[in-house]
Structure 1
Amino acid sequence: MPAAKPTTKRPTDWRKRFAKAKEPHTIVLHTDFAGIKTGTTMYIGSPGSIANYIARIPTGETRSIEAMRNELARKNGAQATCPVTTAIYLKVVAEVALADLADGKTSQEVVPFWRLIAPDSKIAKKLSCDSQVIDHYRQLEVANPVD
């Protein structure tokens, strides 16, 4: 019997995941989902809709993910925003920004995910950067506002 080939996980192509995501849309839940009740209209965003939201947060200010979800739902005529896809797409947006920073772009040239992701949050722990990176960019914006 031949030996099994060792499997190596390829790194995620965050830009590709950003580009291939479905368009934002609203659905009506037919069963309870992620704490949201049956019959609720739920907005499902995209990496682009989340990136646009984050980009509009003024320099030096922060928002909570819950506040973003509530605002996106309201602006899109829904009662809720999907917490699952929001978390996934937020990670995609942050990882693209981190890749851009690693490629030499400045913090003014990337989506400022640190305005939405708190350094001590669950999602921050899942990013490819240390939480100190988020804290650094938050402090940098407070010390040197650009807008």
Structure 2
Amino acid sequence: MKKAKTTSRLKPAKGKSWTDKVNDDSKSEQVKRLEKDFADMPANSMMLIATPKIIDGYIRSVPKGKAISLQTMRKDLALAYRAEYTCPVTTGIFLRIVAEAAHEQLTAGKVLKSVAPFWRVVEEKSPLNKKLSFGPDLVIQQRKKEGISKEPVKKE
């Protein structure tokens, strides 16, 4: 029985680096009306589909020592782009792209304060933290260094 080939988790598909994916300006954000219920959003709602660059910018705006929940980020982005909701699926994908790009930049020698502080949004025990190619330790370490409690601040 042949062993299945595994793909490297160090680079994204299609040969682009994670940083290239964040900086890709070929696609812009979209606000769409939902035709049917989707995730936590009812039909006829206006939903934002952000971009990795928008997620990166939002994360960079979170002050040192503060944590923001993924739900809060989605609410804030929806308001900023005149939508009722932000797509949970693409937000999760783009958050991973931003986190992987930050790690890629750190590995290339950039200083910590120059990369997107994704650990302020990625929770220690989140499924995303377990999926990161570099493992969960960086998130845990940086949250501890910044004095971030395990539970992020939720703005209502």
Q: Name the TM-score class by shorter chain.
A: 0.7 to 0.9
Task: Give the gaps of 5 or more residues in structure 1.
Answer: 1-5
Partner of 1:102: 107
Deviation >6 Å, runs of 4+: none
Instruction: Give 1:85-124 correspondences, 5 Å limit.
Output: 85-124=90-129
Partner of 2:52: 47
In the alignment, is residue 81 of structure 1 matched against residue 79 of structure 2? no
Task: Give the gaps of 5 or more residues in structure 2.
Answer: 149-156
Partner of 1:9: 7
Partner of 1:18: 22
In the alignment, is residue 64 of structure 1 matched against residue 62 of structure 2? no
Aligned-pair RMSD on alpha carbons?
2.0
Equivalent AA in structure 2 for residue 72 of structure 1: L
CA–CA separation in structure 2 for the residues paired with 1:131 and 1:7 = 24
CA–CA separation in structure 2 for the residues paired with 1:141 and 1:60 = 5
CA–CA separation in structure 1 for the residues paired with 2:23 and 2:6 = 24
Percent identity, aligned pairs only, is 35
The superposition leaves residues 108-130 of structure 1 with CA deviations (integer Å, 9 ceiling, x where unpaired) of 01000001001110111111122
